[in-house]
Structure 1
Amino acid sequence: MMKVMEPLELPNGVELKNRFFKSAMSETMANNRNQPNEKHMRLYHAWAKGGAGVVVTGNVMVDRNALGEPGNVVVDDERDIGMLREWARKGTVNETQLWMQINHPGKQSPKSMSKEPVAPSAVPMGDKFKGAFNPPRALTVEEISALTSKFANTARIAKKVGFTGVQIHGAHGYLVNQFLSPHDNRRDDDYGGTLANRMRFLLEIYTEIRDAVGEGYPIALKLNSSDFKPEGFTEEESLQVVGKMASLGLDLIEISGGNYEQPKMSTGTDSEVFFLEYAQKLKEKVNIPVVVTGGFRSPGSMESALEKNHTDMIGIARPLALEPQLPNQIMAGSNAEITTRRLTTGLTALDEKIGPVVGNVYYAMQLKRIAEGKGTERHTNAWRPLLHLITTHGSYALKPKRR
């Protein structure tokens, strides 16, 4: 039996049927009331039938007054409990674990979404992003406490309606990552300064979620290995955070990196497997499952990473936007390889400016096709997603977006 087909037991005793981990991709398919709908049901039903052991949703926001982008699903109360139950039912067929990724954007909420976004400190986005994001204001201690409760409430609802786990989004420059980063967090109270203080927000979120969902319910964390920018969250700090989280009972860690200003997950060649070196350091430090996402494109590279104990699960995102049946195909013996080629307009200067952004839109378009019961379209022409992006979102379209 292939290593990727073996089950994996989490620290809390929950067994995952195999080592395929469908990482989060932002669907941006919610309606204007930020509700999930039939498109979410069909998309996640397709992924559940496709064979992955764990499927993680695109980021679900914990506060409807703080959105990361148009089309985000928001779960901050029980108003949509019926649709959420159906989403969970469709996404857990075939013994699939469906985990809700829960998130708050902090200052990474565009002008079209937030007149005055909040953050640990009033540190604006970098110069080239000031046109798309309003300067944030610093959160009060009372507001921080309220936000930890919002995370816990969203997790409580996720469990109530049938999602089988949650993932805290602590990467990509969103609010949890902003608290961890000394560049973004310049507070002089109990939530700033030392790493112990900067990780306090995350620890309180985790503790409140655990109290809300119980010991047997999986809680995962998506965390940057580094912010890859001066004065940002470092690799050594990341290792310390994971060590602390593991000691508290975290069930799984997914490794990522970067933010809007240094989007490491949007760069690299098809042959790269991101963050493996960091993952190896991490696995020497903690005894919880580690997931590396990004760059896996063939069964051979997946098996090699598992056999060498570089990762416990194979994190895949974009290949499953092109072929939702990929895990089943690989487990059936197919040597299927998904090549996620770069899109191009034929104009080098334009490609350099819009490449990662248009790439994200191309894959979002494929998700919508799956959600509509259509086949995916594979091409390298960047003009169609570029025009779609501008038509849908205007000038904000050319600003980077994160998963």
Structure 2
Amino acid sequence: MSVATSSLSSPIKFADASEAKNRFVKGSCQEGLANPLNDPTHQLDQLYRCWSEGGSGVIISGTVWINRSDNTPQGDLVLDDESDMVAYRRLAKAGQVNNSQSWLQLGYYCISPESSINDLGSESLMAIIQEFVQASRRAELAGFSGVQIAAHGGHFLGASLNEEVNQRSDMWGGDGGRRASLVIAILTEIRKAVQPNFLVSLTLDVAAFASDDEGESTQHFVSLLNQHLASIQLIGKMTLESLAEQFTETAMIGSVDACVFQEDTHLPFTTPFDLIAFDRHCVLMPDLPKQMLANPQFKWPSSWPSDTATSKASSQLSSWYQCQMYLLAMGKKIHPRAGEFILGLRVALLRWRSERAQRRLFGSR
């Protein structure tokens, strides 16, 4: 079943028997709202509560790292044996207040995924598998609905799948099947460690399914994914028409930018995907699902930026959206038409006032 034959408002039951109330997905984007110990904050709780109340069937977190290092980006979440599980339980509940599913996207942090996949020994890769398993168990214990393993471009697992990057000659590299063995091993071990109704998802670039052996590697890879996944999110335009038909047991998530739209509207009418991820659209309009369901003729404001309609560099764009998320998290109005400089000043002033109030509250100077 896909959105082409079913309304975005209809529920969907995943292979693990869990159900999302509709086909709207608030996709992953880095919020930058973790505390100095890389744990969730009350501001992050408020942001997730805002998205759940906005009507999304599924809320996917920004990437939560399964490993901690001195280079972990400030503001990013880490889920390991040092994490504050009370804070994670609070975050899970915040993302489910309006019957939304709340998933943690898990990734392995390294400065250079391209070099790391070739430099790490087999024992280190086995340890990484266990880190993914342990983080998934912690996410389940915290009350999240599921996890999404990040294996798209720019991530460590994405590098392991890339034929041009992965130059290993052991069981973790070589042909498509061996390059996929690390991802499959992680999914297999997670599935063993969690309860049957805990959802396991994966992100992949569409290019990961390219094959030079008449599709045999792709078919085998898809078969293995069908065995272990409840859903898969494909990044990029769908170029393999038969690919969607092969995911018989796995719900497919696609970006709204990869869909075909009716003229003058933002409602997709033909797509191979079962769910649609709106990503940064939900940052600027947290109640986008409610608005689209209430108004079939809904149009995205022409003066507002979209995921693709921008010439800003990626780092500048991420910073701009993080400022908007901070405003939402603080219960303030967003400023979708504000430039980066003005928006940054607004947020800096708000942060200063918030920190000053906290110092007064705790009597520090």
Shorter-chain TM band: 0.7 to 0.9
Aligned residue in 2 for 1:33: 37
Name stretches of at least 5 consecutive residues in structure 1 with no aligned partner.
110-116, 122-137, 227-232, 258-274, 344-350, 390-403
Deviation at 1:184, TM superposition (A): 1.8
Deviation at 1:240, TM superposition (A): 4.3
Deviation at 1:61, TM superposition (A): 0.2
Q: For 2:98 and 2:260, how far apart are their aligned partners in 1? A: 24
Pairing of 1:309-328 with structure 2 (within 5 A): 309-328=271-290
Q: Would the aligned equivalents of 1:190 and 1:197 in 2 still touch at CA under 8 Å?
A: yes
Equivalent of residue 45 in structure 1, options 32, 45, 49: 49
Aligned residue in 1 for 2:23: 19
User: Which shows bigger deviation, 280-289 or 21-30?
Assistant: 280-289
Deviation at 1:160, TM superposition (A): 0.4
In structure 2, relative to structure 1, the CA distance for the partners of 1:80 and 1:105 (3 Å cut) is same
- 1:304 is aligned to 2:304: no
Letter in 2 for 1:77: D
Aligned residue in 2 for 1:356: 314
Deviation at 1:37, TM superposition (A): 0.6
Letter in 1 for 2:244: K
Pairing of 1:108-257 with structure 2 (within 5 A): 108=112, 119-121=116-118, 138-226=119-207, 233=208, 235-236=210-211, 239-240=218-219, 243-257=222-236
Q: For 1:324 and 1:341, how far apart are their aligned partners in 2? A: 15
Q: Would the aligned equivalents of 1:2 and 1:303 in 2 still touch at CA under 8 Å?
A: no
Q: For 1:240 and 1:388, how far apart are their aligned partners in 2? A: 51
In structure 2, relative to structure 1, the CA distance for the partners of 1:118 and 1:37 (3 Å cut) is farther
SS for the counterpart of 2:62 is coil
Aligned residue in 2 for 1:112: none
Report % sequence identity. 26
Aligned residue in 2 for 1:331: 293
In structure 2, relative to structure 1, the CA distance for the partners of 1:67 and 1:201 (3 Å cut) is farther
SS for the counterpart of 1:292 is strand
Deviation at 1:185, TM superposition (A): 1.1
Aligned residue in 1 for 2:75: 71
1:51-86 Cα shifts (integer Å, max 9, x gaps): 010000000000012756321100012640100010
Task: Give the CA RMSD over aligned residues.
Answer: 2.9
1:203-240 Cα shifts (integer Å, max 9, x gaps): 111011111113221101010112xxxxxx56348944
Aligned residue in 2 for 1:113: none
- 1:5 is aligned to 2:9: yes
Q: Would the aligned equivalents of 1:155 and 1:213 in 2 still touch at CA under 8 Å?
A: yes
Name stretches of at least 5 consecutive residues in structure 2 with no aligned partner.
348-365
SS for the counterpart of 1:95 is coil
Q: For 1:384 and 1:239, how far apart are their aligned partners in 2? A: 48
In structure 2, relative to structure 1, the CA distance for the partners of 1:88 and 1:313 (3 Å cut) is same
SS for the counterpart of 2:36 is coil
In structure 2, relative to structure 1, the CA distance for the partners of 1:107 and 1:160 (3 Å cut) is same
Q: Would the aligned equivalents of 2:67 and 2:109 in 1 still touch at CA under 8 Å?
A: no
Q: Would the aligned equivalents of 1:60 and 1:101 in 2 still touch at CA under 8 Å?
A: yes
Letter in 1 for 2:9: M
In structure 2, relative to structure 1, the CA distance for the partners of 1:357 and 1:249 (3 Å cut) is same
1:166-212 Cα shifts (integer Å, max 9, x gaps): 00000022110111112221111111111111111101110111111
Count of residue pairs brought into register by the alignment: 332
1:22-51 Cα shifts (integer Å, max 9, x gaps): 110011111221111111100000001110
Letter in 2 for 1:281: S
Q: Would the aligned equivalents of 2:260 and 2:269 in 1 still touch at CA under 8 Å?
A: no
SS for the counterpart of 1:41 is helix
Q: Would the aligned equivalents of 1:51 and 1:94 in 2 still touch at CA under 8 Å?
A: yes
Q: For 2:343 and 2:206, how far apart are their aligned partners in 1? A: 30
